[in-house]
A and B are shown apart, each in its own frame.
Chain A
Amino acid sequence: MINKKILDDHNLTLEEYDRIVELIGREPNITELGIFSLMWSEHCSYKSSKIHLKKLPFRGKNVIQGPGENAGIIDIGDGLALVFKIESHNHPSFIEPFQGAATGVGGILRDIFTMGARPIALLDSLRFGPLTLPKNKAIMDGVVSGISSYGNSMGVPTVGGEVYFNDCYSQNPLVNVFCLGLVEKNKIFFARAEGKGNPVLYVGSKTGRDGIHGATMASAEFGKETEHKRPNVQVGDPFKEKLLLEACLEVMDKDLIVGIQDMGAAGLTCSTSEMAAKSETGIEIDLDLVPQREEGMTPYEIMLSESQERMLVVAKKEKVKEVQDIFSKWDLEAVIIGQVTDGGKLKVKASGKVVVNIPVKAIVNLCPVYERPWQAPAALKQDLVKESISLPKDFNKALLKLLSSPTIADKEWVFRQYDYMVHTNTMLFPGGDASVLRIKGSRKAIAITLDGNSLYVQLEPRSGAMIAVAEACRNLACVGAEPLGVTNCLNFGNPEKPDIMWQFKEVIEGMAEACRAFSIPVTGGNVSFYNDTEGISIFPTPVVGIVGTVDDVDKVMSPGFKEEGDSIVLFGENKEGLDGSEYLKMVYKIEKGPLPSIDLEQEKRVQELCREAILSGLVESAHDVSEGGLATCLAECSFVSREKIGFIVKLEDKISVDSLLFGESQSRIVVSAKASNLRKLLDLAQKKKIKAKVIGRTKGEKIIICHRGREIINTPVEEAYKAWKESIPHYFKIGA
């Protein structure tokens, strides 16, 4: 008998239960209830976010597949398409950092190769609490090792991403994993269960009791007893997944199957019901035939298990033997566990009895959709009183401090644990504005970036989200790429709280506006709510993943200065203001707004200018101004060049020195250019109606910045480099 306690354990409300009864015309048994609880969980159903997500622009001339499949697909010409998606694995990574992050990688990889694409790049957006706390270090170490272990073993390069630090992630770190695959346009596969009588095959690892209720866990707040949830986290087996990858791609290449879906969150339940729902068919399976790792598993446990590295395949009836032969070549068993039916029902048998018999539509399409109440928090704007910020006595020290801020500092400690070179396509190494991969046999290159400054979003959700999109596009412009498509990972607190829902709504609307301005469609993504522990929510953290292409692989640009004697040119304007800056946070421990304003039209033109300048061969380097402001940007250009080239920059702007050096006003890019190209470059800027100013040149071994005739920064490149380079490794030294 289903009672209130059981419903609570399944995170279902009484109203939801009534709806289930109404939909199936009777009371569900416990297995059926478990199935509904998973598929109607926030994680699987998007019941709180759906209404708002609709506002995002989904259409575009290059879109082959928008939201609703395992991943989005964008046409890049030459018969090729990019398949990409980002997903969160926040809750598991908090409970068990290594396996949580590892299985996050495993899950997103399956989403990509399920569609027939070979995964060619992984990126991660990671957010941790400050490294001064040992617990945060342990989480970061575990997460990075987990990603490294799974991605490296799979032989898919982890080519970049971002690592941010803020107090708000101490109790709730974020692990968002992005994967990109490349596929020939005519070889794309979808999760379909078509053709009555076609066999349903189970492939991969055996089913165990691990991960039961994983999706439900990700749909509730954490309390003090999260330790108890450790058994909900699955353990990854990258070797098994590598075999699955190769075998699935081989099967798909030979046109032997009608559909395929990975068993990720909600395992067997989700894959069977979604495939059937999308094809308006039914599926019948026999649990006695499901390979099991443990004895005595109940139908409930088998249906709800989230054991990793499993796929569900619907084969063409006459090709089953060939399918099984290919899997067997890769030492995998492909077991027929059922068939496609035309009844529109999910029918599950165990020990000869029917244990589940429910319409797939009810599970997949008829979950209630909520328009949760939202309200802007009363004390919203914590405006900064600029005058209260005193100027530092020594700007050199302030710069060094900023460069050593873990959010800004060099992330090599992280990236070199990842095999970012396997596949031999990686043209720009992790740590730059965007990651760039060549495509073998093509003139084009692929550029990818992940971005999202959550402090901005916390201060002003709408403009924060706009800036996230703008900055991601700017990152692509800096390597010479045109943005083509967006995926997003929306990490928020408890959506049942009106102020969180308000943040969510504002973010979606801001993001929609920015995506429209840049004419880039959103092809899918992931929502992660309930990022709260003990009632405290994280900053709203939308992470934007944008992919694009550079038309000529030989024109790909990098951020580092190339030679002494080049002119340094700033596109865009330096404005007064320190709001939301890393400088205020790092030096004064102040997190206040309002944000630097952003004019999307202006931003678009700055990016076009940068792209055109790169493709016409007018510039030697390009790097966008973001966290840490202009001084940080210039210093980075100097470090990442091969020889660590210094510079002397003279600024005349009539604004305060701290804003000038460290303010984060938007729509700025620093490029370097040969004297012979300067005239053409400035003409191009004028044509684009963008302010472009020669602010200095590359020279020597020092970082020198003058303001209106006064020298305000003068420090050896080597010293600044050390502050930037040694910061993160320092935290992980034994005894630190």
Chain B
Amino acid sequence: MKFGVVIFPGSNCDYDTFFVLKDVLKQPTTFLWHKDHNLKSANCVILPGGFSYGDYLRSGAIAKFSPLMQEVMEFAERGGLVLGICNGFQVLLELGLLPGAMLRNKNLKFLCQFVHIRIENENTAFTHRGKKGQVLKIPIAHFDGNYYAPPETLQEIEDNRQVVFRYSDEQGRLSEEANVNGSLRSIAGLTNKRGNVMGLMPHPERASEALLGSVDGQVIFESIITKF
């Protein structure tokens, strides 16, 4: 099992993700440079959080054109595991690997805080170590995390059980208040139809050490690790 963490210009959760995988979870992990055409035989590619290319246009819109994305697309098509966290999620949407788009948060402000998310589908490569309905305490930090998709797409992803996480309260109840950024159907995490590509707005790498207030994010990484 080997993780590859992509560095785009403007990535800023690259080192945090690398640290958790390599030093906390003791997994072979390597950085992947956006200009290369080489996935360095990683079994799971992570697009980390940050502000790729400054996000001056649309979040993730320019990162889509990075040379390495060609390999990431092919890797995903072959069924390789790809996890996009925060800005990485936005890049996956821009690449078309996941359906939908991100709008500004409903309060039109950047939001950094702990939230709770509920596992909706435990039968994925990213969640099989958790239970359906399990609530994770995990931070968000984004300006554009308000998930949007047209009604027919929403229907489709619900029918296919592609919605993996929803924002909830501590007890796992959905509410407008718990849905801090205003996402449609409280969607916090989403896979493609095949289930090998996941986008997640919250940051599991920020919830993987007790010292920082939560280890719930480990469920996601452990799921990936034990898949192999």
Interface residues of A (CB under 8 A from B): 145, 148-149, 152-155, 237-240, 242-243, 246, 329-331, 415-424, 426-427, 438, 440, 553
Q: Are A419's CB and B50's CB within 8 A?
A: no
Q: Are B20's CB and A424's CB within 8 A?
A: yes
Q: Are A421's CB and B12's CB within 8 A?
A: no
Among B10, B23, B51, B139, which residue has its beta carbon within 8 angstroms of that of A421? B139
- Considering the complex, give the chain A residue whose CB is closest to the CB of B111: A416
Q: B residues within 8 A CB of A423?
A: 15-16
> How far, in whole Å, are A290 and B20 apart by their CA atoms in the complex?
43
Q: A residues within 8 A CB of B203?
A: 421
Among B23, B51, B206, B209, which residue has its beta carbon within 8 angstroms of that of A153? B51
Stretch of B53-61, B70-78, B153-161, B184-192 lying at the A interface? B53-61
Contacts A417-B110, A422-B16 hold; do A153 and B212 have CB atoms under 8 A apart?
no
Q: Are B110's CB and A148's CB within 8 A?
A: yes
Asked if B109 is at the interface of the complex by the 8 Å CB criterion, the answer is: yes
A-B CB contact pairs (8 Å), 30 listed: A149-B110, A152-B141, A153-B12, A153-B51, A153-B54, A154-B12, A237-B54, A239-B9, A239-B53, A239-B54, A239-B56, A242-B10, A242-B54, A246-B9, A331-B9, A415-B112, A416-B110, A416-B111, A418-B110, A419-B110, A419-B112, A420-B112, A421-B139, A421-B206, A422-B13, A422-B49, A424-B205, A424-B206, A424-B209, A426-B212
* Minimum distance in angstroms from A418 CB to a CB of chain B: 6
Q: A residues within 8 A CB of B13?
A: 155, 422
Contacts A155-B50, A239-B54 hold; do A424 and B16 have CB atoms under 8 A apart?
yes
* Minimum distance in angstroms from A539 CB to a CB of chain B: 30
Q: A residues within 8 A CB of B148?
A: none
**Considering residues A242, A416, A423, A424, which has the most beta carbons from chain B within 10 angstroms of its beta carbon?**
A424
- Considering the complex, give the chain B residue whose CB is closest to the CB of A243: B9
> How far, in whole Å, are A371 and B110 apart by their CA atoms in the complex?
47
Q: A residues within 8 A CB of B51?
A: 152-153, 155, 238-239, 242
Number of cross-chain contacts by CB at 8 Å: 85
Q: B residues within 8 A CB of A246?
A: 9
> How far, in whole Å, are A195 and B6 apart by their CA atoms in the complex?
39
* Minimum distance in angstroms from A415 CB to a CB of chain B: 8
Asked if B31 is at the interface of the complex by the 8 Å CB criterion, the answer is: no
**3 residue pairs, one from A and one from B, having the closest CB atoms:** A155-B12, A239-B54, A153-B51
A-contact 0/1 string along B176-210, CB 8 Å cutoff: 00000000000000000000000000010110010
Known: A417-B111, A418-B112, A553-B211. 12 other contacts (CB 8 A): A148-B110, A152-B112, A155-B13, A237-B54, A238-B54, A239-B55, A415-B112, A422-B13, A422-B16, A423-B16, A424-B16, A426-B212
Q: Are B10's CB and A239's CB within 8 A?
A: yes
- Considering the complex, give the chain A residue whose CB is closest to the CB of B14: A155
- Considering the complex, give the chain A residue whose CB is closest to the CB of B109: A417
Q: A residues within 8 A CB of B20?
A: 424
> How far, in whole Å, are A448 and B109 apart by their CA atoms in the complex?
26
* Minimum distance in angstroms from A480 CB to a CB of chain B: 15
> How far, in whole Å, are A438 and B16 apart by their CA atoms in the complex?
13
* Minimum distance in angstroms from A613 CB to a CB of chain B: 22
> How far, in whole Å, are A553 and B51 apart by their CA atoms in the complex?
31
Q: B residues within 8 A CB of A422?
A: 12-13, 16, 49, 141
Q: B residues within 8 A CB of A438?
A: 211
Q: B residues within 8 A CB of A155?
A: 11-13, 50-51
Q: Are A152's CB and B16's CB within 8 A?
A: no
Asked if B175 is at the interface of the complex by the 8 Å CB criterion, the answer is: no
* Minimum distance in angstroms from A443 CB to a CB of chain B: 12
> How far, in whole Å, are A237 and B53 apart by their CA atoms in the complex?
11
> How far, in whole Å, are A149 and B110 apart by their CA atoms in the complex?
8
Q: B residues within 8 A CB of A329?
A: 35
> How far, in whole Å, are A427 and B16 apart by their CA atoms in the complex?
15
Q: A residues within 8 A CB of B23?
A: 440
> How far, in whole Å, are A415 and B114 apart by their CA atoms in the complex?
13
Q: A residues within 8 A CB of B10?
A: 153, 239, 242-243
Q: A residues within 8 A CB of B9?
A: 239, 242-243, 246, 330-331
Q: A residues within 8 A CB of B111?
A: 416-417
- Considering the complex, give the chain B residue whose CB is closest to the CB of A412: B113
**Considering residues B19, B110, B212, which has the most beta carbons from chain A within 10 angstroms of its beta carbon?**
B110
Q: Are A424's CB and B112's CB within 8 A?
A: no
> How far, in whole Å, are A329 and B35 apart by their CA atoms in the complex?
9
Q: A residues within 8 A CB of B15?
A: 423
Q: B residues within 8 A CB of A424?
A: 16, 19-20, 205-206, 209, 212
- Considering the complex, give the chain A residue whose CB is closest to the CB of B20: A424
Q: A residues within 8 A CB of B56?
A: 239
Q: A residues within 8 A CB of B211?
A: 427, 438, 553
> How far, in whole Å, are A382 and B135 apart by their CA atoms in the complex?
58
> How far, in whole Å, are A424 and B53 apart by their CA atoms in the complex?
22
* Minimum distance in angstroms from A117 CB to a CB of chain B: 15
- Considering the complex, give the chain B residue whose CB is closest to the CB of A420: B112
Q: Are B112's CB and A417's CB within 8 A?
A: yes
- Which residues of chain B from 137 to 155 have any CB-CB distance to chain A below 8 Å in the complex? 139, 141, 143
- Considering the complex, give the chain B residue whose CB is closest to the CB of A440: B19
> How far, in whole Å, are A237 and B51 apart by their CA atoms in the complex?
12
